[in-house]
Structure 1
Amino acid sequence: MNLTLIKTAAVTGSRELLSPYVGLYLLFSLLINLAFGYPLSLLYTFAFSALLLLLHHRAPRTLRVLLAVTTLIAASYYPFGQTYGPPNFNTLLALHSTNVEEASEIMQIFPPLDYAIACVILLIGFIALRRKPAVKRSWSHVDSACLAFAAVAWLTQPVMNKLAGYPFSLSDAGYPVARFVKDGVVSNMSVKDEVDRMNQLSSLQDSWTVTGVKPSRQVYVIVIGESARRDALGAFGGRWNNTPFASQAKGQFFVNYTSAASSTQKSLGLTLNRVVDGKPLYQDNIITLAKRAGFDTWWFSNQGQIGKYDTSIASIARRADHVHFLKQGDFEADKSTHDEDLLKLTPEALKQPVDAPRLLIYHIIGSHPKACDRTQGKFASFVHSTETSCYLYSITQTDHFLHQLQQQLHSSGLSYSMLYFSDHGMAFKEKGSKNEYLAHDDKFQQNFQVPMFITSSQDTKHQLIKAARSANDFLQLFSQWTGISSKQIIARYRFVSKDAAPPVYVTDFALKKVNYPHLGQDTFAR
């Protein structure tokens, strides 16, 4: 009797494993793995198939719900997932901010094959849902094997995280369905938090008291560079002839200018805003000051519009009268945008007539890592490594951008002054090796040594200013440069001069003030 039952169970298990629905579940699991944008994993493909097989025997109603929901979401997301990957901050932000017209445009860029595969997912899901429920039977070895395999697969990623020193959490399961839900929820919460933070920063009332407005130009332009260390520019003593425009441009070149900090958010926060007790007041910034003085303000950006490292600076941009971002999400949202695309927006800002002085700000992506992403892998000459070579070429791209912008300003017929500076420098990693690259750091002077120059329609010579200057005093420069006087800005010296300035300090990653001269050196390797 027992032998007969065992034989019957074995035959039933064998038939079950040979059922065409097992193959259908495998194909379905593989396609939804791809649909959600994650790298293909055979482990989770087989594990999810085992879970479906187990549910077919033990919980058919749960299976039907899981199949229906997963099929609809996977089929809908498949084209999107192939282009944009799994849910993340940028994709969720795009979903929040996309209207019907933009959505229809996005759908037109997906290739027909993606839509065909989405239809295949719908067909497979429909066939799986049509499968008749299994006849009730006792727990089998096949059930045990499916449960064990599915459980081990679920625990794999949490255990690996624990071994790597991270907290153990069952929510870290690598199943594409589980990851999709978690990534979607977490990213959506992050988007909501950043939107709330943006709204809060953008709604604070400024406290400027303007005491005088005497601009000497019709147009003032600020170009905020990115990740350019001064010794990488030929115009500032670099060993490479990579800045043909800046090297011969007429104006004032500050050869001892230092950034306030060594990362974009912290540096520009301390540069563009009024700072009280070491903390930037984001409502009291150069845009709100210019608006108080009656300037027409414009902000053009190839940086991020909203994100962990973008929201605070973007909140300054949002205060401008005219705001244009090339990216919807953070600075990594779209690598296909180029700084030169911003130049297409300039003509609108320079249109006649001139009813008020204008302030135009360009926030470029410049030399942000990875530099080869900025140059599409191009470089002029090989220096140490491909990435370093691209970095030096990205400097040339910025120089070309500045030249083109200067030509636009000159062609407008308006009197102008253009100021360029970089937000921070960079430090070498794996220095001198074939894998050398540049990254953020706060231990070296080169992390804070950045280029700055001012060129205008009235300049007649190339002038070097060797006196030490700091971005901590940028508001003084802005006030003197634009002719806007404010009760809150106290001028301690003439910025564009040879006058001595107070000792230079910088802010490190721990937000502590550090004496700049005490930092080490990180020069280019010979």
Structure 2
Amino acid sequence: MKSIKEYIVEYKEIDSFNIDKSIVDIKGFSFNDNLEKATFVLILGESTTRSRLSLHGYSRNTTPYLKSIQSNLKVYDNVISPNAFTIGSLRKVLTLNGLSDANDFSIIQLMNQAGFKTFWISNQRPIGEYESLVTKIASASDVYKIKNTALDGSITPHDEVLIPLFEKALDDDAPLKFIVLHPLGTHMKYSDRYPEAFQKFKGESPSNFKNVRAQQLSNDYDNAILYHDHFIEQIHKQLQVLEEPSYMIYFSDHGEEVFTDINFAGHMDDNPTKSMYEIPFFLWTNSKFKVIIPLANNLKLPYSIQYFMHSFSDLNGIKFEEFDSSKSIFSEDFKTQKRIIANDIDYDLYFENTSQNN
């Protein structure tokens, strides 16, 4: 399968970069030093497709908490990931230039440079070549904690195991904190992603395929999203009570096909469907943060998280030599960029032509 080959090639390239070093030379770096205290949180989702969230109009109420706070969120309706597998996507999303040159840097290194104490709290297995890119990026953090040590074939812990570590990070004395939470989200095996109390969706699902496997996996996936919504709720409620400027930003590394367009569950660049690339992307900020950083209202415009480093820097009031405000979804200067998926496919042209041919 092409995606597996790409994993191996990209893995071999990773060791030539300095993304595991806490501080690197970021040319032209500047930051608003007037910020005395802040808590910023990124939740990095896994295999969550936008169309299965009731926040985005799905018929089942899979995200009751997010729906309840929707008026306090900036919800972006037209966001995609550049690849349909983790290492391909996050290589581009969490670094400036997708590790295309030796001077590239990551979001962790950017925040380290700004004087934040950085935390990476993960429920993803740290072992294995497929996770090595994220592991190296995470290891540049001041605090890197992993809760998932399950071996292949073992049942992994539910994402709530991250909550005590998150609370500990919130209690840290550092005045400036940047916390990345990397849950398992809705990664297959879907039925392992949630406890029994969240097995709400049963019977006939809204899936476009009615075979037994499609129905079961569709229900499991919706239940996994319901639990994921609960996980996000626990994070958000603890941020709401903070007095310092705070935000919570969320996106998924890529989407997931779950019997919507084809009779298949999973993700791969070889046979792209819209569900594999369409992802949820939303932002919550408290009143103190709103005063510091004004944000444009580009909620409906086409955007790819391939350009996330520019948006992320803009959100944090950080500038550097290669920063481009026209690539920031949060900027009034934002201009829609070409959205490339699977390394060489124009997403918008491909699916426009596909829909016309069907």
Scaled by the length of structure 2, the TM-score of the pair is 0.79
> 1:280 and 1:238 mapped to 2: Cα distance?
41
Residue 251, structure 1, aligned to residue 80, structure 2: no
**Residue 17 of structure 2 contacts residue 102 of structure 2 at CA under 8 Å; is this kept in 1?**
no
Q: CA deviation at 1:446?
A: 1.9
Q: How big is the shift at 1:506?
A: 2.6
Cα deviation 1:452-486 (Å, max 9, x = unaligned):
000022289xx881011111110111111111111
Q: Does 2:349 correspond to 1:518? A: yes
Alignment of 1:353-368 (within 5 A): 353-355=173-175, 357-368=176-187
State yes or no: 1:440 paired with 2:247: no
Helix, strand or coil at the partner of 1:323: strand
Task: Tell me if the contact between 1:263 and 1:424 (Cα under 8 Å) persists in the aligned partners.
Answer: yes
Task: Give the residue type in structure 2 aligned to 1:438.
Answer: A
> Partner amino acid for 1:306?
I
Is the 8 Å Cα contact of residues 82 and 340 (structure 2) preserved in structure 1? yes
Closer, same or farther in 2 for the Cα pair 1:282/1:493, shift >3 Å? closer
Q: 2:136: which partner in 1?
A: 315
Change (3 A) 1:206 1:465: same
- Partner residue in 2 for 1:491: 325
Q: Is the 8 A contact 1:208 1:488 kept in 2?
A: no
1:286, distance to aligned residue in structure 2 (A):
0.3
Aligned pairs for 1:345-424 within 5 A: 345-351=165-171, 353-355=173-175, 357-375=176-194, 378-382=199-203, 383=205, 384=210, 385-424=215-254
**Greater gyration radius:** 1
For 2:148, the equivalent position in structure 1 comes to 327
How many residues are treated as equivalent by the alignment? 320
Partner of 1:240: 60
Post-superposition, which runs of at least 4 consecutive aligned residues in structure 1 deviate over 6 A?
Answer: none
Specify which structure has the higher proportion of helix.
1
Whole-Å separation in 2 of the counterparts to 1:390 and 1:308: 28
Cα distance in 2, alignment partners of residues 212 and 497 from structure 1: 17
Cα distance in 1, alignment partners of residues 104 and 331 from structure 2: 29
Render the CA deviation track for 1:186-214: whole Å, top value 9, x for unaligned: xxxx9xx99x9599763597331353212
CA distance in 2: counterparts of 1:490 and 1:328, whole angstroms = 39
Alignment-derived partner of residue 50 in structure 2: 230
**d(CA) in 2 for partners of 1:345 and 1:497?**
33
- Unaligned runs of 5+ residues in structure 2 are 1-7, 291-296
Select the residue among 293, 304, 314 that pairs with 2:114: 293
CA 212–221 in structure 1, closer or farther in 2 if over 3 Å, else same:
same
Q: Distance in 1 between matches of 2:153 and 2:340?
A: 30
In the other structure, the counterpart of 1:166 is none
Name the SS for the 1:455 alignment partner. Answer: strand
Residue pair 1:243, 1:395 contacting (<8 A) in 2 also: yes
Give distance in 1, aligned partners of 2:174 and 2:161.
Answer: 24
Mapped to 1, the partners of 2:303 and 2:133 lie a distance apart of 25
Shift of 1:306: 2.4
Q: Secondary structure at the match of 1:313?
A: helix
Distance 1:367-1:293 versus aligned 2 partners, 3 A rule: same
Confirm or deny: 8 A CA contact 2:87 2:131 kept in the other structure: yes
Aligned-pair identity (%) = 23
